[in-house]
Amino acid sequence: MFLGIDVGTSEVKVLLLASDHQVVAVAGSALSVSRPHPGHSEQAPQDWWAAARKALGQLRLSHPAEMAAVQGIGLSGQMHGAVLLDANDQVLRPAILWNDTRCAAECSEMMAEMPELADLGGSLAMPGFTAPKLRWVARHEPAIFKQVAKVLLPKDHVRLMLTGEHVTDMSDASGTLWLDVRQRQWSDALLALTGMTRDQMPRLVEGSEPGGRLLPEVAAELGLPAGIVVAGGAGDNASSAVGMGAVQPGQGFLSLGTSGVLFVVTPSYQPNAASATHAFCHALPGQWHQMSVMLSAASALQWVADLLGAANAGEVADKAAALGLQDRAASPLFLPYLGGERTPHNSANLRGSFHGLSFDTDAARLGYSVIEGVSFGLRDGLAALNAAGSEVTRLSLVGGGARSAFWAQLLASALNIEIVTHADSTVGGALGAARLAWLATGASLSAVCVPPAVVASYQPLPDEQALLAPRHARFHHLYRAD
């Protein structure tokens, strides 16, 4: 057995994987996000560990024999979050998350001071990244900044609880803007830009390599064997790629989670700052990937579901799916920038809007507008990846949005590519983490990273594309007008 732990924004999810590739069990524990000021997004690192313990406790109760047979643990997690620790590994303040936009000014300063930053770090300086967060802390919370002995990423704080070690992997480290992504090592020049040093960074390992051993006392609590390997793991997107078997150039996936991500494996390091894409290390040695990111994806559908008083986002999606083409054409257009945007606009101040509201607008049309608007944002992201040199004809759909066949079909038509779903599409990050644990025990890539069976395939539909084409053109016009 192999155990994957995925530290998400809304949930910590854990997964047991057998050596015949069968997912034996999945459990989760919900998380909440604190927004103390406009543009701020924080979580208490202690909550991730508490949620992980709760979810793992569920597995111990339901599958004690399988937990006792676990040979390795892998970690996946939300990227970019800044966990600040003092010399005694005590948390100094709530973690500043990936969707926090408070440090936009610091990003502008960093780009002005080091124009070569994007080539070295793989991306433009954006507010979600870790490095500008520390520059913000230095300016606004200097007493805390002076106490920072280590900076960890979210999944690596859970690793600290599991192993007692400060370690991260190349894919997650790529999202800090402190890594020389081409050389796969910390950059003294990038660290100096935010007043940091290598001593404050965790040890670097590849995602498929050992990144610590499970502490005896933790093993006893969770019903796991003491001393088993804890793999380097990966940022959530690279981990999802491993889970979907996207480990060769040209392979990729589309994630519909809190954020929306297009991920394509590349044969080499291919930065392209002009298109506001990210060029990061993959979770596997000697591999890189390109990524476009939009900040509000399935979370936008949940937002409108909450406004409408719906039981859940799925209820709104079902109502939208029942609309005919004529009703869709009469639906408002939605700009999905509820909390700023990354690719391709790179603006922390951008905000969302509905256009074309009328007395005929009902819950179904609003739901459709949001699903379509997010799909248009992802289409813009794919165009940015194409401009950066990536080519892709098929994408696996992962994340919570993968539950909607309607949305999968709309994405196929909007992006003009084949979209496929898998039985384990909603647990991609946790599945990838378990696979990385498997690799860290010495297993081969060909034996572990096989693509999961396709459950459904969605091809572009001409009548749907005929509907979407003029609406996408209007969508772009509205963005420029705003």
The whole-number average pLDDT for the span 87-107 is 96
Residue 215: the pLDDT is 98
Judged by average pLDDT, the poorest of 129-143, 264-278, 280-294, 455-469 is: 264-278
| Other CB atoms within 10 A of residue 416 CB | 14
3 state DSSP class of 371: helix
Q: Which residues contact 164 (CB under 8 A, 6 or more apart)?
A: 212, 215
> What's the predicted TM-score (pTM) here?
0.86
Give the Cα separation of 235 and 232 in Å (integer): 10
Q: What is the CATH number of domain 2-235?
A: 3.30.420.40
Burial of 474 (0-12, 13-18, 19+ CB in 10 A): middle
Domain locations along the chain: 2-235
Whether residue 14 contacts residue 27, with contact meaning beta carbons closer than 8 Å, is answered with: yes
Residue 386: the pLDDT is 86
Residue 277: the pLDDT is 85
Give the Cα separation of 303 and 325 in Å (integer): 24
Give me the phi and psi of 69, to 5 degrees please: -100, 5
Q: Which residues contact 88 (CB under 8 A, 6 or more apart)?
A: none
- Given 100, 236, 380, 424, which residue is catalytic? 236
Over 70: is that where the pLDDT of 244 sits? Answer: yes
**Tokens of residue 382, six digits:** 């794919």
The closest of 59, 30, 37 to 222, measured between CA atoms, is: 59
Mean pLDDT, the chain, rounded, equals 94
Give the Cα separation of 330 and 332 in Å (integer): 7
Residue 339: the pLDDT is 84
Binding-site positions read 79-80
Over 60: is that where the pLDDT of 482 sits? Answer: no
Q: Count of residues for the chain?
A: 482
Judged by average pLDDT, the poorest of 260-264, 385-389, 441-445 is: 385-389
Over 60: is that where the pLDDT of 25 sits? Answer: yes
Residue 481: the pLDDT is 59
401 pLDDT tier (thresholds 50, 70, 90) = confident
172 catalytic? Reply is no
Residue 129: the pLDDT is 95
The closest of 191, 171, 153, 281 to 234, measured between CA atoms, is: 171
Binding-site positions for substrate read 79-80
Give the position of tokens 């610590």. 212
Whether residue 56 contacts residue 12, with contact meaning beta carbons closer than 8 Å, is answered with: no
Over 60: is that where the pLDDT of 419 sits? Answer: yes
